[in-house]
Amino acid sequence: MPLLHSGRRRTKLDRKYNGPPRQGPVRHISPAQLNLERVYEQNRANVQKRDATKLPEPAPGPAAKGKPRLLLMGQRRSGKSSISSVVFHKMPPNETLFLESTARIQKDSMHSFMDFQVWDFPGQVDFMDPSFDLDAIFGEIGALIWVIDAQDEYLEAINRLNNTILNLQPTYPNINIEVFIHKVDGLSDDYKLDIQRDIMQRIQDELSDHGVENAPINFHLTSIYNHSIFEAFSKVIQKLIPHLPTLEALLNDLCRSCRFEKAYLFDVLSKIYIATDPSPVDMPSYEICSDYIDVIVDVSEIYGWGRSPEYITSLEGEPWNTKIEDQVACKDAESAIVLTDMKRPIMLREVNKYLALVAVMREGSFERMPLVTLNVDTTVQGLAEVFEITKQKEARG
């Protein structure tokens, strides 16, 4: 089962990441190197223009053409590297205390249901410096995530963010700017909202003073010590998914036909949800679904095992003679559980090696389980097809 192999986590004991080979190597790139890659890409495009039959190899480790980029920016020690490590490398939040300050831009390639990159900028870098090629940084951007430490003095961070927006607006007016008001753990709800209001007001005032109205800026209250950081990233990533409305429509149909309370399509490794039905997301249901993935992955790690080809052949051999997937109800990971306090079953179904469908059912749904399984099967096929079609389109494009 791919799910069983894809969820391995970084453990405290061995202190090293033992997950799947999903994350590419972290690259450290200097501004000069960025420029070089840019020049290489330009030459490559020119060569192709002159002779369409010739397409030189991409630059070694290029600024990965066509892959949306998430840029993590903000003041020093605001929590950028911690966010990236917790969300994409399964680092336990407490261990971020030992992270060293980032000295150079760190570039991380994510190969999941969709390929994208996460660039972690050192807090002290001024990328408005003329030595930076802005197009190389902001050219293929998916979102600019600006991290503000809510437990620290934040006026300087807001000034820098305002300057950045004002500098980028003329050339890149459509950049999605996501402000993470970070480290809100330990702050009271009222205080969090006060801070958010204050930060929003200051940014809006400054921008409208400079004639910039309706810039695409979103605000999220986040912390690595709870699920808020995953929720915020879910919303950021969803904006990069071109077929999101189709995925949402499929999940909506499933919820209506099976009378589910809520359904999420999760990226298994990061536990970001990449789509959900249109009913409002409530944190407890999201948390429970996300924790359920961990439970399944943990159980699979203990009790799952790799079946040798001989073993599979022996199962498929005489007298049974049917393929292994035809002998079981479902060849992918599948599970359902009832939580005693809420009496509502939760079900999980693997979609492909990166994605899992997790849904909160209503009380008594177990009685209609055959119908539910049938509908879930159809939805999962639909979801898998959407990704297959998009992949083919990307390969052709």
Of residues 101 and 392, the one with the C-beta less far from ligand GTP: 101
- DSSP-derived letter for residue 174 is T
Q: Compute the least distance from the CB of residue 122 to ligand GTP, in Å.
A: 5
Of residues 42 and 163, the one with the C-beta less far from ligand GTP: 163
Please report how many Cα atoms fall inside a 13 Å half-sphere around the Cα of residue 326, on the Cβ side. Answer: 7
Of residues 52 and 97, the one with the C-beta less far from ligand GTP: 97
Radius of gyration of the chain, Cα coordinates, nearest whole angstrom = 23
Of residues 80 and 349, the one with the C-beta less far from ligand GTP: 80
The beta strands (E) that lie in 226-292 are given as 262-267, 273-276
Give the angle subtended at the CA of 332 by the CAs of 113 and 112, to the nearest 5°.
10
Q: Compute the least distance from the CB of residue 81 to ligand GTP, in Å.
A: 3
Listed as own residue / partner, the contacts of 184-187 with beta carbons closer than 8 Å and 24 or more positions apart are 184/150, 184/221, 184/222, 184/223, 184/228, 185/223, 185/225, 185/226, 186/151, 187/150, 187/151
The tokens describing 134, both together, are: 């802005």
Of residues 84 and 112, the one with the C-beta less far from ligand GTP: 84
- Closest CA relative to residue 390, chosen from 243, 246, 238, 268: 243
Of residues 150 and 288, the one with the C-beta less far from ligand GTP: 150
Q: Compute the least distance from the CB of residue 145 to ligand GTP, in Å.
A: 11
Give the angle subtended at the CA of 75 by the CAs of 32 and 109, to the nearest 5°.
55
Of residues 73 and 376, the one with the C-beta less far from ligand GTP: 73
Please report how many Cα atoms fall inside a 13 Å half-sphere around the Cα of residue 91, on the Cβ side. Answer: 18
Contact 160, 150 (CB under 8 A): no
- Report the interface residues with ligand GTP, using CB under 6 A: 76-82, 96-97, 99, 101-102, 122-123, 182-183, 185, 223-225
Per-residue CA distances from 296 to 80, 263, 343, 350, 358 (Å): 29, 17, 19, 11, 11
- Closest CA relative to residue 388, chosen from 355, 347, 348: 355
* C-alpha–C-alpha distance, residues 64 and 4, integer Å: 29
Q: Compute the least distance from the CB of residue 246 to ligand GTP, in Å.
A: 34
Spatial CB neighbours of 218, under 8 Å, sequence gap ≥ 6:
176, 177, 178, 179, 235
- DSSP-derived letter for residue 105 is E
Of residues 98 and 303, the one with the C-beta less far from ligand GTP: 98
Of residues 236 and 255, the one with the C-beta less far from ligand GTP: 236
